[in-house]
Structure 1
Amino acid sequence: MARSVLDFSAFSHSVSSEETHLIESLVAQYGAPLMLLDCDSIRQQYRALKAALPGVTLHFALKPLPLPAVVQTLLAEGASFDLATSGEVDLVAREGVPAERTIHTHPIKRDADIRDALAYGCDVFVVDNMNELEKFIPYRDQADVLIRLSFRNAEAFADLSKKFGCSADGAIEIATRAQELGIRIKGLSFHVGSQTIDPTKYVDAIHACHEVMVRIAELGLPAISTLDIGGGFPVAYNDEVMPIDQFCQPINEALACLPDTVQVLAEPGRFIVAPAMTNVASVMGQADREGETWYYLDDGVYGSFSGLIFDHGDYPIISLNQEGERFPSVLAGPTCDSIDVVAEHILLPKLNNGDLIITRMMGAYSSATATDFNFFKRAQTVVLNDIALENRMIG
């Protein structure tokens, strides 16, 4: 049965009869809960960002959704990849990604992590302190290094500059020390934070990095040839965000101020995959509590909804059954833990056991952080619109 007709990007607060039939047929075939991965959405998101950032090489950050189908879809689109662990190195190696299309951006690494990446052929790494720089002394003839700067962003989902990155002066000290050690500094990098709503965060960081480039040149150190502007490009969950072409316009203007010799990279993750995954959970029981109906689903925060805990998730949720009056309701997960609540105080029609709940925008930091807590197995992933293999089940 073909699975190329489901367009999750078109979902609003209703589901067409055709979409309903397909979802129900998938549940009948595979059971629930399910995570439905739409490869067409991945292609659309990648192409949109590529068009919005012309001349920028996009390295997809595997962290939010490290699945073979995602890698294969983006590889066919010509994408490059951002790796952070030896497990991610293994994944792209198995999927046939050329090593020259990868970078390794975890600022803190074990020696084994460096050796694993180099053995694969990935030879661009990130550091943000002297201790990390000195780890490359044995590999100075094999590796190129990017220095990561810190730009705090309290408004982001995750302020990644709290944990990683150095100051401008710190970057100069690292570059100077690298020259003494014979370690090649290829460029600079930064990450302004996940789900960044304001593009001026990137603009300010780009200008600050340009100033560091000038200072490095004035010291007679090797010229900076690369700037990695990280990820964090926003997607719309329940709130609207700026269209990506409009969002990237000031970023492009800032990048135009850099020397023509500087190659620009980016590390999009959430933007590429968040809209591509839709969760289908079924009602396994219900109870009336304090004036609300509690519906207990077969998926929850220890499973696909882990992003509610780890990623500040705010996912659009609808019932496949849209008929009848709506009542105050709670959606809870299946485990015996009281924290396992998906949504509270929402209006839903009267549901029956077995009815389906559809949750969109679940491609980023959901199944990637799911567990089998309480021995509730995590949702199976069904891949849709996969050119290589149109339908594929992932355990």
Structure 2
Amino acid sequence: MAHAHSVLNFQSFAARTLSADDIRLVESAVSQFGAPLLMLDCEIIRQQYRALNNALPNVTLHFALKPLPHPVVVRTLLEEGASFDLATSGEVELAAQEGVPAERTIHTHPIKRDADIRDALAYGCSVFVVDNLNELAKFKPYKDEVELLVRLSFRNAEAFADLSKKFGCSPEQALAIIETAQAWNIRIKGLSFHVGSQTIQPQKYVDAIQTCKTVMEEVVARGLPALSTLDIGGGFPVNYTRQVMPIEQFCEPINDALNELPETVQVLAEPGRFIVAQAVMSVASVMGQAEREGQMWYYLDDGIYGSFSGLMFDDAQYPLVTLKQGGDLLPSVLAGPTCDSIDVIAEDIMLPQLENGDLIVGCMMGAYTSATATDFNFFKRAQTIVLNEDAFSEDSMNQERLIG
């Protein structure tokens, strides 16, 4: 199972510190539930949602379930007034189970099975995304029930994931789709795009918005019904091991570009990582150790087949902290628990001498971690502990609940 993946290096290690309260909370949770754990703080989810909502005041935020499709995340954001971005029948089912009103959802997977369309429509979600004529034809039987967004492609080599490589069409193709939809009596509601995950420069959004504005003007020039919606996707950056632009500053040029659109255009966004990445800490314990080629190898009870799956699938680099302080620092490696040799989390790092049972905490572990974790080698994935599920107050601080 030899796959290439990136591991953390010394420069990215120990980028965060934990407060005394954090340390007590981690130790209490491990004492109660064991390790490995994921500690999900609902108050951080609220704070992140509010920060982005304030930074994009005229944009309706549809949380993308993909990075952390967890019932408590859905409930927390629903209470905040969020809308939701769904991409699969499983996500439709989760939204329905948690009481999300269907009118506050959109279905944005550009390539769907007929069953996916039927499941979403049965729930009441009627806004879908297409990026080609083959996909458009799937909606002929449902033309009286749906409104579609046409997704444009904007390549971004700088992003964690260049999502326009797999999905999206050119402006010319978009116009052809819109003209064909008119002939087939299928309503096109607007346009959408996604400039890529963890986009560092807001200019990518500005360029995409300006191109979409031009397409919207051409639609009117061709005598087609005016488009009423623009979905600017997600990709808003968060701090892993390097600082990114504060979200208020990041969104300023985006807002300026959006202000150039006609007032009749409703703007949506699909944030995922920005909302949940910061909200989860992982806790793993040392289950064994050995000296190999001059380095101490510490084997943790969580690894890349578990909560650190983002090292393989997401190209993320998570700040790590050991609770043990003091003593000489030794060249070290952190490895996961499985029998696979690629299950290595961090190499060439300097750590104090650790003992079996010592704890390693990973920060920024909310996005694409538990969502892509496996039970490979029959090592069960980490349990999730929920903090501050009730609205934040002194009474609700530090409450814990095991939810699986």
TM-score, length-scaled by structure 2: 0.94
RMSD: 1.1
Matched, 1:392 2:395: no
- Tell me how far 1:12 sits from its aligned partner: 6.3
Alignment of 1:239-388 (within 5 A): 239-387=242-390
SS in 2 for 1:159: coil
Which stretches in structure 1 are left out of the alignment for 5+ residues? 1-10
Alignment of 1:104-119 (within 5 A): 104-119=107-122
CA distance in structure 2 between the partners assigned to 1:264 and 1:19 by the alignment: 38
8 Å CA contact retained: 2:37, 2:385: yes
**Which protein has greater RCO, CA pairs closer than 8 Å, 6+ apart?**
2
Alignment of 1:1-395 (within 5 A): 13-387=16-390, 390-395=399-404
Deviations 1:258-314 (A, max 9, x none): 000000000000000000010000000000111110000000000000000000010
- Tell me how far 1:326 sits from its aligned partner: 1.2
CA distance in structure 2 between the partners assigned to 1:179 and 1:282 by the alignment: 59
Letter in 1 for 2:144: D
- Tell me how far 1:136 sits from its aligned partner: 0.4
SS in 2 for 1:265: strand
Which stretches in structure 2 are left out of the alignment for 5+ residues? 1-13
- Tell me how far 1:25 sits from its aligned partner: 1.0
Deviations 1:107-138 (A, max 9, x none): 00000000000000000000000000000000
8 Å CA contact retained: 2:16, 2:363: no
SS in 2 for 1:347: strand
CA distance in structure 1 between the partners assigned to 2:51 and 2:19 by the alignment: 26
SS in 2 for 1:203: helix
- Among the aligned pairs, what percent are the same residue? 72
CA distance in structure 2 between the partners assigned to 1:187 and 1:357 by the alignment: 47
8 Å CA contact retained: 1:14, 1:322: no
- Tell me how far 1:393 sits from its aligned partner: 1.5
May I ask how many residue pairs the two structures share in their alignment? 385
CA distance in structure 2 between the partners assigned to 1:313 and 1:198 by the alignment: 18
Letter in 2 for 1:394: I
- Tell me how far 1:21 sits from its aligned partner: 1.7
Letter in 1 for 2:118: R
Deviations 1:52-111 (A, max 9, x none): 001100000000000000000000000000000000000000000000000000000000
Letter in 1 for 2:401: R
Deviations 1:350-394 (A, max 9, x none): 110000000000100000000000000000000000017953322
CA distance in structure 1 between the partners assigned to 2:217 and 2:65 by the alignment: 32
SS in 1 for 2:188: strand
SS in 2 for 1:224: coil
TM-score, length-scaled by structure 1: 0.96
Letter in 1 for 2:261: L
CA distance in structure 2 between the partners assigned to 1:126 and 1:216 by the alignment: 18
- Tell me how far 1:18 sits from its aligned partner: 2.5
- Tell me how far 1:17 sits from its aligned partner: 2.7
Deviations 1:16-54 (A, max 9, x none): 333222211110110000000000110010000000001
CA distance in structure 1 between the partners assigned to 2:299 and 2:141 by the alignment: 55
